[in-house]
Amino acid sequence: MAVQIQAFEAGPVATYGYLVIDDKAKSGVIIDAPLGSADAIEAAAKEAGVIPGALILTHTHWDHTGDAAELKRRFPTMLIYVHPNDEYRLREPMAHTVWKLPFTIEGLPADRYLNHGDVFALGDICFRVIHTPGHTEGGICLYDATHEILFAGDTLFAGSVGRTDLPGGVWETLLGSITDRLLSLPDSVRVYPGHGPATTIGAERESNPFIG
């Protein structure tokens, strides 16, 4: 398989960021930027001989954007992508935290927007953007049909779903996003979530207690 996936768990709430690499084209995409992940992601990119061309944020809660500004400094040509409905938290993360954080998350603007149905392509990496509001207003999932993989952010987990008790969260909206837009995917699609182990659409369709 030309595309390889490396996972990086970091930060105080064990958040996953991912580095997706196209070995043939020597291109790379970062998905989410957990606090404290920049060193490991940079080292992995250097070892693979790639300069990431994009950082795509599945949503903008601070635990997914904590190292976005630092990664932008390390890879100045990298473009940051986000759904427009979530950019406000990326720009001003400390103004939109529910709890007082014992550290500062640096804000920055997005370079590009991604909307539902958009296609992002870089080398052999190709994602269809699926807007899945409910956990946040602008939450997105990234679907690669060729390799049957889905980066789900905090929309869908192994045996669970994203919380909806934070500002911007709506339970009925989240359930509709999952039911209408994710469960329509093939059972064989492997799901890489923002927290916890990977799963498949089929496993969640069969046994996830929140969406059965």
Residue 2 pLDDT exceeds 60: yes
Contact 108, 90 (CB under 8 A): yes
Residue 188 lies in a domain: yes
Q: What is the pLDDT of residues 50-82, one digit of tens each?
A: 999 999 999 999 999 999 999 999 999 999 999
The whole-number pLDDT of residue 73 equals: 98
Residue 138 lies in a domain: yes
Q: What is the pLDDT of residues 9-22, one digit of tens each?
A: 999 999 999 999 99
The whole-number pLDDT of residue 98 equals: 86
The whole-number pLDDT of residue 183 equals: 98
Structural domain including 55 reads 3-207
Q: What is the pLDDT of residues 133-183, one digit of tens each?
A: 999 999 999 999 999 999 999 999 999 999 999 999 999 999 999 999 999
The whole-number pLDDT of residue 194 equals: 98
Residue 91 lies in a domain: yes
Domain tally for the chain? 1
26: Cβ contacts below 8 Å, ≥ 6 apart? 48, 49, 50, 123
The whole-number pLDDT of residue 145 equals: 97
Q: What is the pLDDT of residues 76-135, one digit of tens each?
A: 999 999 999 999 999 999 999 988 999 999 999 999 999 999 999 998 899 999 999 999
What phi-psi label fits residue 208: left (phi over 0), alpha (psi between -120 and 50 degrees) or beta?
Answer: beta
DSSP 21-84: EETTTTEEEEE---TT-HHHHHHHHHHHT--EEEEE-S---HHHHTTHHHHHHHSTTPEEEE-G
Residue 106 lies in a domain: yes
179: domain CATH number?
A: 3.60.15.10
Nearest to 127 by CA among 64, 70, 53: 53
Residue 212 lies in a domain: no
